[in-house]
């Protein structure tokens, strides 16, 4: 991972993806993190069914239930406890206890993959188990890591730190200064919030630096320039945060000086999403300052800040399109991913240009094509090593890995020999090292971790997860449904081989459909044990709004075009029924965050298709989503609710909170969220539940006091949450 790539990961805090992929299995979460909708025209859905529903009088105003937006208000928390207590006897029965016990055994298993970041000859890992509840940052040598029984050395014990500090710390990763990786900024969250406290840490002494860099709780980011200078984008006080709740200012802070005296480098606008500091390297291997101004969620401006010469500290804007991402650096080449057509290159392509050329002239004369995807291809992820760029490429939602090199002014590539018909993901990379890690998996094949040495292109199998469920008795198939506009929508179905096509199979359909997030084939011990082994069918929907086929697949569902995302999902549900895989009585759906909005829309538009709906950490009040926490940053995805034209009207007609029919027939939904979620406000879930209660519509509810946007801050909480979810589906769909 290059420093530029690592720093850019801070933007992931803006995206609603904590629950964006399938229900995440904690065994995939150990790697140390290095660094960061109402329309006036009814829409005719699949098979002529009108999906969008227009209510001229929803029966309630936007001001109803605002008291539930007070996150830790006495009245709001009292109501939450009433709902939690009412749900507990329904879902925490004997089958729940068995599920939780089985899942916790998996989550605490020493056989989990200890995913690492490789730095300066050392393998670093963050690990949680039944002993290390909050987790431990630890390290070992590469040879030790590759052995059957690695010898780990503790770098930071978060449980011990939380006890000493008297704080409910949740570890949120670190950002270290290359190439020694001795000095790091450690990110600590109170209960799992996105906002973190940042403290300078010395990995050699394994202690926090006395009088070192320290930043109190805030959303934002930092980036190292050198050992004595840190780029800082945090809350500097009144008037320094955007409407989205992210930093508006980046400063250069010098060791030994007050933060108040830090040099301001760039100030954005209050209407921006945020201003983010990062860096890239010059020809001498020194860090240059780069600042990213996110004007909207999908549009940004990038500025180089020279540190010397006649133009010292005067921003120089990079002449690249707003809808593009700087994605790392290899040799002198800065990598650029397009989200729009530009200079003869199509959206989705990865290009590169010379850092030295730009710094000399302020222009980008020569563009080099790294990779240009085809119509059914997309780029999953990529990483940079000392010798190459490793890229995961998806073709019809099936992954492969490729190695790219740059010589004599052009890029060359070769495909790496990894298993096919599954997912291939580029794991930890480091632009100072030749060692990188790649993970392969499928729905029925556990994660396998491979070590790639990019200096000689050798590949060795390092570790694998055990088979936590009997996948030999199961089969995975890919189908396509036809959406309302005739587009073919792929989806995966996983089930036991002896399943009868009689419409009686309990089936769980999962979807997300937003923010260019791809749902790829992946192995989940949670889904396997809690659902598939019990005879359930699991379905993964690759609907528009995601990134399965690149930016165009995502942009097809933006703002007023969003109904097509929901039509895609409906078409899959209907296709499952047509194939007699299941029936409405036995079909349940699940989604979190943006996927929680998807669930809310399904409940208000097509409740007849489903008998169970799990709505996780959701957006549901789309008329006020931009007023709550990070909501303003997502206007580029959903549109502006305050718009007086078609955009505002569409959002109003879409909003699940406003479109609950008092006389409607709905499945008994299970709504879950977290008090500590400072990304998607828990008020969405609370107000939706309250409106259901107002109308006498049954529902189940669970709100975790800790856990942030993932709704779980440790493995025990993850087991509890997932046991509730799958027990709910089991009871409803069996």
Is 96 a residue whose pLDDT tops 60? Answer: yes
Give CA–CA dist 389/411, Å, rounded: 10
Q: Which residues contact 57 (CB under 8 A, 6 or more apart)?
A: none
Is 453 a residue whose pLDDT tops 60? Answer: yes
All structural domains of the chain, each given as residue ranges with its CATH number in brackets, are 1-19+116-317 (2.130.10.120), 468-733 (3.40.50.1820)
CA atoms within 13 A on the CB side of 151: 3
Query: What is the mean pLDDT of the segment spanning 550-562?
Result: 97
Q: Quickly state the pLDDT bin for 47 (edges 50, 70, 90).
A: very low
Q: Quickly state the pLDDT bin for 48 (edges 50, 70, 90).
A: very low
Give CA–CA dist 19/2, Å, rounded: 26
pLDDT of residue 33: 26
pLDDT of residue 709: 63
pLDDT of residue 306: 97
Q: Is the pTM of this model over 0.95?
A: no
pLDDT of residue 64: 82
pLDDT of residue 374: 94
Nearest to 221 by CA among 202, 261, 248, 183: 248
Whole-number percent of the chain with pLDDT over 90: 88
Residues 565, 514: contact at Cβ < 8 Å?
Answer: yes
Give CA–CA dist 336/151, Å, rounded: 40
pLDDT of residue 206: 97
Residues 20, 304: contact at Cβ < 8 Å?
Answer: no
Query: What is the mean pLDDT of the segment spanning 562-571?
Result: 98
The SS3 call for residue 100 is helix
pLDDT of residue 30: 32
- Number of Cβ within 10 Å of residue 377's Cβ equals 17
- Catalytic sites, residue numbers: 593, 709
What pLDDT, in 10s, does the model give residues 238-267?
Answer: 999 999 999 999 999 999 999 999 999 999
Nearest to 590 by CA among 548, 640, 537: 537
Give CA–CA dist 698/86, Å, rounded: 11
Q: Quickly state the pLDDT bin for 184 (edges 50, 70, 90).
A: very high
Q: Quickly state the pLDDT bin for 287 (edges 50, 70, 90).
A: very high
Is 57 a residue whose pLDDT tops 60? Answer: no
pLDDT of residue 677: 87
Query: What is the mean pLDDT of the segment spanning 420-442?
Result: 95
Q: Compute the mean pLDDT over every residue in the chain, rounded to the nearest whole number.
A: 91
The SS3 call for residue 532 is helix
3-state DSSP percent of the chain in helix, strand and coil, to 5: 25, 30, 45
What pLDDT, in 10s, does the model give residues 649-675?
Answer: 999 899 999 999 999 999 999 999 999
Which of 46-50, 496-500, 718-722 shows the lowest mean pLDDT across its residues? 46-50
Query: What is the mean pLDDT of the segment spanning 578-591?
Result: 98
What pLDDT, in 10s, does the model give residues 8-32?
Answer: 434 434 445 433 333 334 334 333 2
3-state secondary structure 106-140: HHCCCCCCCCCEEECCEEEEEECCCCCCCCEEEEE
Whole-number percent of the chain with pLDDT over 70: 90
Is 149 a residue whose pLDDT tops 70? Answer: yes
What pLDDT, in 10s, does the model give residues 301-330?
Answer: 999 999 998 889 999 999 999 999 999 999
What pLDDT, in 10s, does the model give residues 375-404?
Answer: 999 999 999 999 999 999 999 999 999 999
Residues 693, 724: contact at Cβ < 8 Å?
Answer: no
Nearest to 727 by CA among 22, 128, 21, 102: 102
Enumerate long-range contacts of 196-203, CB under 8 Å, 24 or more apart: 196/172, 198/222, 198/234, 201/156, 201/174, 203/139, 203/155, 203/176
């Amino acid at each position: 991972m290059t420093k530029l790539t690592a720093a850019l990961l801070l933007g992931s805090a803006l995206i609603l993806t904590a629950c964006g992929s399938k229900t995440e299995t904690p065994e995939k979460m150990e790697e140390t993190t290095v660094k960061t909708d109402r329309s006036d025209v009814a829409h005719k859905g699949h098979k002529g069914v009108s999906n969008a529903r227009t209510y001229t009088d929803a029966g309630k105003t936007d001001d109803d239930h605002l008291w539930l937006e007070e996150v830790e208000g006495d009245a709001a928390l009292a109501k939450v406890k009433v709902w939690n207590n009412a749900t507990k006897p329904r879902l925490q029965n004997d089958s729940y206890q068995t599920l939780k016990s089985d899942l916790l055994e998996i989550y605490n298993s020493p056989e989990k993959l200890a995913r690492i970041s490789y730095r300066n000859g050392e393998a670093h890992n963050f690990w949680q188990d039944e002993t290390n509840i909050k987790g431990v940052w630890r390290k070992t040598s590469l040879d030790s890591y590759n052995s059957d029984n690695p010898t780990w050395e503790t770098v930071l014990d978060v449980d011990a730190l939380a006890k000493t500090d008297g704080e409910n710390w949740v570890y949120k990763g670190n950002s270290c200064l290359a190439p020694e990786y001795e000095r790091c900024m450690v990110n600590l969250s109170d209960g799992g919030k996105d906002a973190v406290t940042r403290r300078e840490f010395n990995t050699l002494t394994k202690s926090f630096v006395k009088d070192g860099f320290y930043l109190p709780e805030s959303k934002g980011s930092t980036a190292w320039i050198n050992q004595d200078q840190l780029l800082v984008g945090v809350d500097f006080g009144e008037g320094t945060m955007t409407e989205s709740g992210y930093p508006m200012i980046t400063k250069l802070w010098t060791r030994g000086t007050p933060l108040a005296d830090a040099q301001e480098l760039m100030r954005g606008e209050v209407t921006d999403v945020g201003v983010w500091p990062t860096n890239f390297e010059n020809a001498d291997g020194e860090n240059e300052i780069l600042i990213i101004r996110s004007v909207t969620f999908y549009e940004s401006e990038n500025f180089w800040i020279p540190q010397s010469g006649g133009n010292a500290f005067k921003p120089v804007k990079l002449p690249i399109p707003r809808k593009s991402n700087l994605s790392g650096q290899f040799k002198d080449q800065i990598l650029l991913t397009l989200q729009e057509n530009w200079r003869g290159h199509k959206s989705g392509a990865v290009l590169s240009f010379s850092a030295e050329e730009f710094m000399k002239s302020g222009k980008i004369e020569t563009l080099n094509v790294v990779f240009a995807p085809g119509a059914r291809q997309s780029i999953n992820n990529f990483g940079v090593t000392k010798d190459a760029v490793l890229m995961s490429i998806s073709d019809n939602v099936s992954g492969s890995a490729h190695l790219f090199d740059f010589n004599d002014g052009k890029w060359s590539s070769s495909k790496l020999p990894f298993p096919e018909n599954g997912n291939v993901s580029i794991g930890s990379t480091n632009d100072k090292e030749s060692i990188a890690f790649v993970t392969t998996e499928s729905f029925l094949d556990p994660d396998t971790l491979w070590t790639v040495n990019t200096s000689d292109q050798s590949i060795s199998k390092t570790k694998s997860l055990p088979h936590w469920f009997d996948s030999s008795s199961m089969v995975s198939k890919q189908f396509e449904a036809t959406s309302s506009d005739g587009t073919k929508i792929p989806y995966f179905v996983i089930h036991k081989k002896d399943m009868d096509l009689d419409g009686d199979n309990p089936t769980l359909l999962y979807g997300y459909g937003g923010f260019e997030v791809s749902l790829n084939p992946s192995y989940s011990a949670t889904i396997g044990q809690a659902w598939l082994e019990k005879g359930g069918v699991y379905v993964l929907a690759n609907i528009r709004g995601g990134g399965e086929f690149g930016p165009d697949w995502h942009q097809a569902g933006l703002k007023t075009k969003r109904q097509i995302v929901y039509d895609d999902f409906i078409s899959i549900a209907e296709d499952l029924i047509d194939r007699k895989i299941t029936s409405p009585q036995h079909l349940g759906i699940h989604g979190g965050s943006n996927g929680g909005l998807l669930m809310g829309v399904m409940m208000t538009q097509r409740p007849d298709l489903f008998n169970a709906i799990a709505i996780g950490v959701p957006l549901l009040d789309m008329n006020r989503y931009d007023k709550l926490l990070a909501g303003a940053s997502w206007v580029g995805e959903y549109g502006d609710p305050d718009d007086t034209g078609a955009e505002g009207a569409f959002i109003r007609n879409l909003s699940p909170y406003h479109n609950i029919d008092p006389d409607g027939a709905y499945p008994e939904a299970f709504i879950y969220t977290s008090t500590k979620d400072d990304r998607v406000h828990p008020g969405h879930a609370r107000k939706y539940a309250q409106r259901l209660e107002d109308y006498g519509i049954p529902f189940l509810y669970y709100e975790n006091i800790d856990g942030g946007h993932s709704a779980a801050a440790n493995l025990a909480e993850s087991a509890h949450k997932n046991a509730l979810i799958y027990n709910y589906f089991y009871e409803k769909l069996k």
